[in-house]
C-alpha cells in the first residue's frame, strides 16, 4: 500500500491547485493526485473555447457572489480570503499573464489553455507532487481514530492500487460515481441537474437566421420569477448567449422540474410596449414611403427585424404609411413581448456544469473541511456550488482549493 500525507482525488483545476499550494507551503508533506483518466486538466483544456476563462474581473466579494445561483451566501467569507485579484497575482508570479476582455472575462495573454496546463504541470513537478493517472477510485475507507494519534486516516482503492493518507481532498467535479462514494461515507449529496445550457426552440421567427445577436434584451420565464438581461444569440437549434445561460443557471432546478418545456417572453428592445407603439407611430410619419421590412429600427439586427415584421402580418412591400392599427400593435408586441416555446435544452459548448453536489450545510467554509469526517476536504464543483458562465466556476475552484491548502499546510 502506497502511503502519503495528502491525497487529492481528481486531477482537474481544483485538484492541481490544491496540490501545488500544499506542496509549496509545506514541502515536508508527501502529496499525490489520483486522476482516473490518462491525463488531467481536461476541463481546463476545453474551457473558454480552448482559451481557458481563468477568472472574471470582479474585485468586490459582495458583487462576485451574485454570479453563483448555489453558493452565494457560503462563498462570501472564502472570497475575502482568496479573491480574483489573488488568482491574477498567483498566475503572474508564475509567469502567466492574464488579460481582461470587454465583458470582464479573463484569459491567459497567450489565448491558449495550454499555458495554464503547462504552468500546473511545471509547478506540480517543481514541488514534488506525484500525479498518478489511470487511477479511478472505487472505494474510500475511513479508519477509526485512536485519539489524535493515528497515522493513516483513509484507505483508497483503485482498480490497480491501494493508497493510504492522513488527509483526503475530493476534487472530482460533477462525478456521479464519486458522489455515491461520498454518500456512502455519510454525506448528503444534492441530486445533480444541468446548470449551463441553451434553449431549444422551433419557431419561424428565428428560423434560418443562426448567428444573429440582439445585443441587449430582457428574458422572462413565464409562470416563474426567473428573469435576466444581456445579449441573446440565435442558434441553429434555438437561443443562447449570456441572457439565456444566466436563466439556465438560476433556473436550473425549476426548469428541470418542468422537464425543459416552458414559455419565455423576450423584450428585444428593453422598452415598454406602450413606448414602443408611440415610437412606431412616429416612424409611420417620418418614414412614410419606405418599406417597413427594409428599414430596421431600435438598433435591431436586420434579419431579426425582418422576421418580426413578417410575423406582424405584413409583407416585404408594406410601407410605413400603409400600416394599420393592428399591424402597429402586432409589431410593438413582437418587439417587446414575443413569446417563444422552449421544448428542450442543449449543452453549452463542451462546458457541462451541474447544479448539485455535497450539501453545503455539511462543509466548514473557513477550511472547506467536512463537518462529518475529520481531515476530509472538498474543493471545486464536487460541492453544490455552480455559477453562470464567465470564469466564475474556475474562481470557485481556485478559492476553495487555496483555502484547503492553507488549512492542511498549517
pLDDT tens column, 340-383: 999 999 987 655 688 999 999 999 999 999 999 999 999 999 99
* Residues making up the chain, counted from first to last: 410
Where in the chain do CATH 3.50.50.60 domains reside? 2-193+355-409
pTM of the model: 0.90
pLDDT digits (tens, 9 = 90+) for 20-57: 999 999 999 999 999 999 999 999 999 999 999 999 99
pLDDT at 144: 72
Quote the cell numbers at residue 211.
Answer: 448567428
Mention the CATH class of domain 2-193+355-409.
alpha beta
In the chain, what percentage of residues exceed pLDDT 90? 94
Instruction: State pLDDT tens for residues 261-304.
Output: 999 999 999 999 999 999 999 999 999 999 999 999 999 999 99
- CB–CB of 384/71 below 8 Å? yes
Apex CA 362: angle with CA 19 and CA 367, to 5°? Answer: 35
**Residue 145 — pLDDT band, cuts 50, 70, 90?**
low
**How far is CA 128 from each of CA 25, 32, 35, 121, 303, rounded to the nearest angstrom?**
12, 9, 16, 11, 57
Q: Three-state SS for 130?
A: strand
Asked whether 64 and 79 are in contact (CB, 8 A), the reply is: yes
Q: What is the pLDDT of residue 349?
A: 62
Q: How many CA atoms lie within 13 A of 186 on its CB side?
A: 10
Alpha carbon 371 to chain centroid, angstroms: 26
Please list, in sequence order, all residues whose beta carbon lies within 8 angstroms of the beta carbon of residue 136, skipping any fewer than 6 positions away: 36, 158, 159, 177
Alpha helices by DSSP H, 185-237: none
Q: Are 293 and 314 in contact (CB under 8 A)?
A: yes
Report yes or no: 7 and 163 within 8 Å, Cβ to Cβ.
yes
Would you say residue 400 has pLDDT above 80?
yes
Q: Specify the residue for cell string 428593453.
A: 270
pLDDT beyond 80 at 235: yes
Cα first-last separation, the chain: 26
Helix (H) or strand (E) holding 232: strand 227-234
Amino acid at each position: 500500500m502506497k502511503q502519503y500525507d495528502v491525497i487529492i482525488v481528481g486531477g482537474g483545476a481544483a485538484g492541481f491547485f490544491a496540490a501545488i499550494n500544499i506542496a509549496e507551503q509545506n514541502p515536508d508533506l508527501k502529496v499525490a493526485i489520483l486522476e482516473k483518466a490518462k491525463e488531467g486538466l481536461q476541463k481546463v483544456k476545453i474551457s473558454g473555447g480552448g482559451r481557458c476563462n481563468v477568472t472574471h474581473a470582479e474585485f468586490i466579494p459582495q458583487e462576485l457572489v451574485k454570479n453563483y445561483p448555489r453558493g452565494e451566501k457560503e462563498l462570501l467569507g472564502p472570497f475575502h480570503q482568496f479573491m480574483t485579484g489573488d488568482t491574477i497575482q498567483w498566475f503572474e508570479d508564475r509567469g502567466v499573464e492574464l488579460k481582461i476582455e470587454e465583458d470582464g472575462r479573463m484569459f491567459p495573454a497567450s489565448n491558449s489553455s495550454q499555458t495554464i496546463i503547462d504552468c500546473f504541470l511545471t509547478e506540480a513537478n517543481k514541488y514534488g507532487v506525484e500525479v498518478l493517472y489511470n487511477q479511478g477510485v472505487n472505494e474510500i475507507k475511513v479508519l477509526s481514530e485512536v485519539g489524535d494519534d493515528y497515522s493513516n486516516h483513509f484507505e483508497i482503492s483503485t482498480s490497480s492500487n491501494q493508497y493510504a493518507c492522513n488527509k483526503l481532498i475530493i476534487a472530482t467535479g460533477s462525478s456521479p460515481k464519486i458522489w455515491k462514494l461520498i454518500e456512502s461515507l455519510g454525506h448528503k449529496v444534492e441530486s445533480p441537474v444541468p446548470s449551463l445550457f441553451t434553449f431549444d426552440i422551433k419557431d419561424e421567427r428565428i428560423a434560418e437566421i443562426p448567428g444573429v445577436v440582439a445585443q441587449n434584451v430582457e428574458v422572462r420565464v413565464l409562470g416563474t420569477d426567473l428573469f435576466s438581461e444581456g445579449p441573446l444569440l440565435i442558434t441553429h437549434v434555438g437561443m443562447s448567449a449570456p441572457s439565456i445561460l444566466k436563466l439556465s443557471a438560476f433556473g436550473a432546478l425549476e426548469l428541470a422540474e418542468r422537464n425543459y418545456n416552458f414559455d419565455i417572453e423576450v423584450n428585444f428592445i428593453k422598452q415598454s410596449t406602450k413606448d414602443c407603439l408611440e415610437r412606431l407611430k412616429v416612424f409611420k410619419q417620418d418614414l412614410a414611403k419606405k418599406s417597413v421590412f427594409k428599414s430596421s429600427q431600435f438598433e435591431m439586427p436586420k434579419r431579426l427585424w425582418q422576421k418580426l415584421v413578417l410575423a406582424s402580418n405584413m409583407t416585404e412591400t408594406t410601407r410605413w404609411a400603409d400600416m394599420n392599427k393592428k399591424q402597429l400593435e402586432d409589431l410593438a408586441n413582437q418587439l417587446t413581448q414575443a413569446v417563444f416555446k422552449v421544448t428542450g435544452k442543449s449543452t453549452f459548448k463542451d462546458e457541462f456544469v451541474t447544479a448539485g453536489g455535497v450539501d453545503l450545510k455539511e462543509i466548514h467554509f473557513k477550511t472547506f473541511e467536512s463537518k462529518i469526517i475529520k481531515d476530509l476536504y472538498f474543493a471545486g464543483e464536487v460541492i453544490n456550488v455552480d455559477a453562470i458562465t464567465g470564469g466564475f466556476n474556475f474562481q470557485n475552484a481556485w478559492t476553495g482549493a487555496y483555502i484547503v491548502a492553507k488549512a492542511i499546510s498549517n
